[in-house]
Amino acid sequence: MYTQSCDVMLAYQVMGQGPLDLVIVPGFVSHIEQAWEDPSYARFLQQLSSFSRVIFFDKRGTGMSERTVEVGTLEQRMDDVRAVMEAAGSKRAALLGVSEGAAMSALFAATYPERVHALILYGGLARDTWAPGYPFRDAGSDEQLEKWLSQWRQEWGGPFGIDTWAPSRAKDERFKQWFAKYLRLAGTPKSVARLVRMNREIDVRDILPARRVPTLVLHRACDRAVGVANGRYLADHIPGSKYVELDGEDHLW
């Protein structure tokens, strides 16, 4: 289904009939239809919808949502979540924020505490670049970033980054083909570059102590894309949160 946030059309899907609403806030890029073509992804979604009403969407500029727009600030993307919840008839939900979606979910909970009864943050981070007191990220200089994005543009279309995002599946040919198609459908080199540049602005450190909802932080011990120190930081700075460290080095949830 589709709904509108300001003048942007957003694709979303609702599945399950449980007593709890669960909104999946994606990280990086996503494609809610192609997700179902991977058996492991489909099984995960089915398991979530066995006990909750799952609301799954593609954020602006990616996937099946409107592509002819900028990827948006955290604030705009946060408002997109509100629009999707309203379209799905959800007054209050748990948010499952994945990767960069974790930061936006935390911001959403601070802004609309009456709409959120729980947070689950997987593979998340509070800030995307290095800063004093936050030494866990090193995005490099602007020149290094542009060099990396140039390589990205050349290699986009294949299973780019699978050794970082899903090393445990990097030799699985069927999964590699699915992953490459998922990326192609989820975003173009240009839209992905915009997203990467926007993510460099992420910094939600100041709002973490304001969380007043039950929060579960999940992070893989050897995550290659977002180091485990980022997850530990979230848990340490969100009062009362529960931290669970998972085995493995995959970043894909």
Question: 60, 93 in Cβ contact below 8 A?
Answer: no
Q: Does residue 114 belong to any structural domain of this protein?
A: yes
Average pLDDT over the chain, rounded to an integer: 91
Question: 204, 124 in Cβ contact below 8 A?
Answer: no
Exposure of 153 in the CB half-sphere (CA atoms within 13 A) = 11
Which of 203, 195, 177 is closest to 71 using CA atoms? 195
Q: How many domains does the chain have?
A: 1
Q: Does residue 225 belong to any structural domain of this protein?
A: yes
Instruction: Identify the pLDDT of residue 139.
Output: 62
Q: Does residue 253 belong to any structural domain of this protein?
A: no
Helix axis angle, 189-199 to 142-155, nearest 10° = 150
Chain segment 106-159, per-residue pLDDT in tens: 999 988 999 999 999 999 999 988 888 888 876 666 777 778 778 778 888 899
Q: Does residue 198 belong to any structural domain of this protein?
A: yes
Instruction: Identify the pLDDT of residue 122.
Output: 98
Q: Does residue 251 belong to any structural domain of this protein?
A: no
Q: Does residue 20 belong to any structural domain of this protein?
A: yes
Chain segment 15-71, per-residue pLDDT in tens: 998 899 999 999 889 999 999 999 999 999 999 999 999 999 999 989 999 887 666
What residues make up the domain containing 231? 2-246
Question: 139, 128 in Cβ contact below 8 A?
Answer: yes
In this prediction, residues 205-227 reach a mean pLDDT of 93
Q: Does residue 252 belong to any structural domain of this protein?
A: no
Return the CATH number at 39: 3.40.50.1820
